[in-house]
Structure formats: C-alpha cells, structure tokens
C-alpha cells in the first residue's frame, strides 16, 4: 500500500506540475508576439468577443476563412458570427476548437465547412494527431513548451488579456484574381469518395457535442471547383442523412450565386477571393436568416461595436493572401 501511495503521489505531483506549467506557458494575449501560432491567430480572435455574443461559429479549413465573411452577414442581416477556421484544419482540431469556443459562447448555430472531411493521412499519423491535440487541449504545456525562452512578467503573474479584436471576424480577404478554367466540375454521378474512419470519429463527436449543448449544426460546402466534385457531395450527403444533420452544398448552385470563375477565385479554383466570398456570404446570410430565425442585432446598442468594426471592414476588406 505504501508503494502504491508513493506511485499515486508521484504521478499526482507530476500532473499538478504539468497543470501549473500549462498556466505559465500559455500565451496571455491573442497575438503572435505573445506566443500564439500564426496559423491559429485569426481563429483565436474569437477569444476577444464578449461572452455569449455570437449567433454563429464556423469551423473548417481555409475554404471557410476565404469564403465566409461575417461582416457581410452582419451588414445584410445583423447576424453575429466568427470564422474559427485554420489552414488545413482536421476534424479533431475542429472538435477541440469548438470545445474552446463553447466555454465562452453559446451560439445558436455551428457551421462545419465540408472540405475538412477530406483532410486525413494514414491511420498512424491520424492517431498520433488525435493524441497530440487532446493532450494540448487539456495540458497546453505540450503545445507551448518552447515558450520558456520568451516568458515575461505577465506570464509569471498569469494575467490574461485576450482583448485584441479582429474586425474581420476570422475572414481573410484577398483581391488577387487567378481564374479557374476547368469548366463544369459538379457533373452528377452515383460515385462516392469514402471518408476516413478517423474523420467520421471526430465529426461524430462534433455532432454529439452540438446536440448535448442544444446547438444547431449545419454542414456547408463552399464553392471550390479545385477540391470538390459530385462523389464527395454524395458521400457528405450520405453522412448528413445518416446523422440527421442539414447539408447545404453551394457547389450545386453556382449559377444562382452568379459565380464568375474568371473573377471570383484567388488561386485557380482552390479558394475564393473577396469578390467570390461576398457572393457566398450574401447568400449564406440570407439562408441563415430565413431558416434559423437569427436575431437582427443591428439596432441593438449592446452590439454597437459591430457597426464600428463594419466601417473598418469596408475600408480594409482587401489585402492579405493566405494558402490552404
């Protein structure tokens, strides 16, 4: 019993040390200068949003942050939303991103951008990724261990200040034009491109998380001719039907969206530029306002900051480039 108690005491002390180190090494501001990874910085801008102020949260890969502009949906419908997408975001990352966001927000709707369904590698790599992301979520020291060289007095005092706002709300605009010239890409077929089991495992957990929190979940495929086809549409549609989750595939309505592939892509059909994103966002905003009855906050004084940020957005809604 004494040996057992020593073992428990050792591991208990080790766990407490990891927890304390996690608080110490975690960035105390949501900026790159304070230790957040550049890949995460726009998604983590959500930390600056007032608690319980967002109606919609978007997760997914770079198709999300290049195609969905929350400020367009605010301007048209007064919807408060934030895009918590990351370049190459995997399903396990989307799950833990949502877990983090839901500590402070209680949205009415989560949007999962479906290009994420096809981000996976071999089983061993995905299992390692899952273990890594889980450990980093619960014990951030595993993620930020290399910050020991750059610790400041704020870190030792453990004072957090996540007030660095992002008036783009996670959207990354681009004026660059590189036309898609591949022609029609959604040719109807009965084919199915299979999903990896690790993807469905974590996507299932997202579905359960939303249901446990009584939050609506919507699968959305943004227009991406370089990445999407009917076989992928069929597979995601099967998943949506099986799990009773609504699915909106904008790749099926490019004519209704008035997509112009000579003008609306930044990189030959991989990601939309600002012109294309405006078309997607206007349609999506109208769709959400109609089917989810989201409150129009534009005249609500509690959301007056959004109107100020809209002015900044209109001036600065062009520039940065990004890649998947």
- Judged against a pLDDT cut of 80, whether residue 86 lies above it is answered with yes
In whole angstroms, give the CA distance from residue 59 to residue 57.
7
Does the pLDDT of residue 21 top 60, yes or no? no
What stretches of the chain show up as alpha helix (H) in DSSP?
Answer: 2-25, 62-67, 70-77, 91-101, 123-138, 141-144, 153-157, 197-212, 230-243, 254-257, 274-291, 304-316
Which residue in this structure is represented by tokens 């009855």?
A: 293
Q: What domains are there in the chain, each with its CATH number? A: 2-316 (3.40.50.1110)
Classified as helix, coil or strand, 109 is strand
pTM of the model: 0.85
Contacts of 191 (CB under 8 A, 6+ apart): 230, 231, 234
Residues 6+ apart with CB under 8 A from 290: none
Q: Could you report the per-residue pLDDT of 227-253, keeping only the tens digit for each?
A: 999 999 999 999 999 999 999 999 999
Q: What is the tens place of the pLDDT at every residue in 149-181?
A: 566 666 655 665 566 778 999 999 999 999 999
Contact by Cβ (8 Å): 229, 184? no
Q: Phi-psi bin for 319: left (phi > 0), alpha (psi -120 to 50), beta?
A: left
Q: How confident is the model at residue 322 (pLDDT cuts 50, 70, 90)?
A: very low
> Binning pLDDT at 50, 70 and 90, where does residue 23 land?
very low
pLDDT digits (tens, 9 = 90+) for 123-133: 777 777 777 77
Rounded alpha-carbon distances, angstroms, from residue 19 to 2, 36, 71, 135, 154? 25, 19, 38, 11, 17
Who wins on pLDDT, 318 or 48? Answer: 48
3-state helix, strand, coil in the chain (%, to 5): 50, 10, 40
Q: What is the pLDDT of residue 2?
A: 73
Write out the DSSP string of 115-135.
GGGG----HHHHHHHHHHHHH
**Out of 1-5, 118-122, 299-303, 307-311, least confident range:** 1-5
Query: What is the pLDDT averaged over residues 275-298?
Result: 97
């Amino acid at each position: 019993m004494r040996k057992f108690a020593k073992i428990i005491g050792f591991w208990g002390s080790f766990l407490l040390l990891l927890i304390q180190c996690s608080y110490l090494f975690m960035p105390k501001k949501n900026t790159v200068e304070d230790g957040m990874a550049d890949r995460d910085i726009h998604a983590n801008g959500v930390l600056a949003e007032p608690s319980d102020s967002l109606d919609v949260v978007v997760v997914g890969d770079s198709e999300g942050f290049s195609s969905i502009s929350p400020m367009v949906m605010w301007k048209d419908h007064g919807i408060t939303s934030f895009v918590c997408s990351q370049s190459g975001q995997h399903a396990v990352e989307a799950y833990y991103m949502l877990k983090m966001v839901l500590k402070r927000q209680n949205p009415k709707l989560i949007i999962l951008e479906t290009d994420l369904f096809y981000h996976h590698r071999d089983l061993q790599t995905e299992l390692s990724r899952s273990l890594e992301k889980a450990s980093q979520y619960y014990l951030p020291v595993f993620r930020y261990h290399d910050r020991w060289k750059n610790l400041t007095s704020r870190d030792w005092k453990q004072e957090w200040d996540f007030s660095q706002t992002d008036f783009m709300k996670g959207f990354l605009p681009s004026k660059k034009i590189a036309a898609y010239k591949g022609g029609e890409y959604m040719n109807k077929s009965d084919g199915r491109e299979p999903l990896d089991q690790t993807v469905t495992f974590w996507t299932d957990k997202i579905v359960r998380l939303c249901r446990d929190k009584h939050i609506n979940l919507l699968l959305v495929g943004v227009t991406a001719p370089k990445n999407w086809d009917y076989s992928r549409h069929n597979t995601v549609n099967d998943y949506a039907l099986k799990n009773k989750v609504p699915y909106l595939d904008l790749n099926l309505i490019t004519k209704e969206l008035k997509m112009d592939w000579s003008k609306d892509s930044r990189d030959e059909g991989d990601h939309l530029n600002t012109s294309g994103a405006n078309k997607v966002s206007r349609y999506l905003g109208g769709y959400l306002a109609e089917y989810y009855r989201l409150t129009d906050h534009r005249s609500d004084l509690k959301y007056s900051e959004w109107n100020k940020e809209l002015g900044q957005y209109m001036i600065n809604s062009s520039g940065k480039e990004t890649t998947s």
